[in-house]
Amino acid sequence: MERKDEVDALVPRWERSGLSPSLIAALELSKRMSRINGLFEQALKPELAELGLTYAEFDVLAALNRLGPPYRMKPSELSRALFLTSGGISNVLQRLTAAGYVERADNDGDGRSRWVQLTTEGLRVSDTAMAVSGKVHEDVLAGVPEEAVRQAADALREVLLVVGRRRLR
């Protein structure tokens, strides 16, 4: 017997609406990615809140942490890397600066821009948050065969390599 998920319940409606099989497959992909991402975020947000972080703040701290020393980027680079608007990144950086997790530093190579850099406390908090995130991801995926996770990750890479190059409105 074939196993069904909540997205499968939508397929008959799409079929009755006369949607093509390729469009139905695209909708299934989109809905499942969205649902899985939502489950990760739903599990992670309360854990981050215990650390005093929002999901967006965690994203910025993690992006800086992944760079390694000196743990810094320009705000415009952060904005592009995290798919946030310049206004959105500015708000997050203000909160992280007020919390003492990041600081602004002069960019000696370009007087028009400044660096955003993790502080010692920001590095400590980001290390903790990244460990929490890893544990949450393991917990969410508990019971899913490792091979299925690997296959899904590889298949989504193929999709993203094509879709990610397109300029969408």
Per mean pLDDT, which range of 3-7, 39-43, 63-67, 111-115 is the poorest?
111-115
In a domain, 115, yes or no: yes
Taking the CA atoms of the chain, what radius of gyration do you get in angstroms? 20
What does the block give as tokens for 94? 């203000």
Whole-angstrom Cα distance, residue 99 to residue 121? 9
What does the block give as tokens for 21? 């099989």
| pLDDT at residue 106 is higher than 80 | no
In a domain, 2, yes or no: no
Bridging pattern class, strands 72-73 and 114-118: antiparallel
Domain of residue 65: give its range: 8-163
Please give the C-alpha separations between residue 77 and each of 1, 83, 119, 141, in angstroms, as whole numbers. Answer: 49, 10, 18, 31
Residue 98: which CATH number?
A: 1.10.10.10
Structural domains of the chain, count: 1
Q: What is the pLDDT of residues 122-153, one digit of tens each?
A: 999 999 999 999 999 999 999 999 999 999 99
Residue recorded with tokens 């739903």: 42
In a domain, 118, yes or no: yes
In a domain, 1, yes or no: no
Whole-angstrom Cα distance, residue 108 to residue 111? 6
Q: Which residues contact 107 (CB under 8 A, 6 or more apart)?
A: 74, 113, 114, 115
What is the structure's pLDDT at 167? 67
Residue recorded with tokens 């608007």: 85
In a domain, 49, yes or no: yes
In three-state secondary structure terms, 103 is: strand
CB-CB neighbours of 43 under 10 Å: 15
What is the structure's pLDDT at 169? 57
Q: What is the pLDDT of residues 8-65, one digit of tens each?
A: 999 999 999 999 999 999 999 999 999 999 999 999 999 999 999 999 999 999 999 9
In a domain, 3, yes or no: no
What is the structure's pLDDT at 16? 95
| pLDDT at residue 78 is higher than 80 | yes
Entry pTM: 0.82
Whole-angstrom Cα distance, residue 82 to residue 54? 14
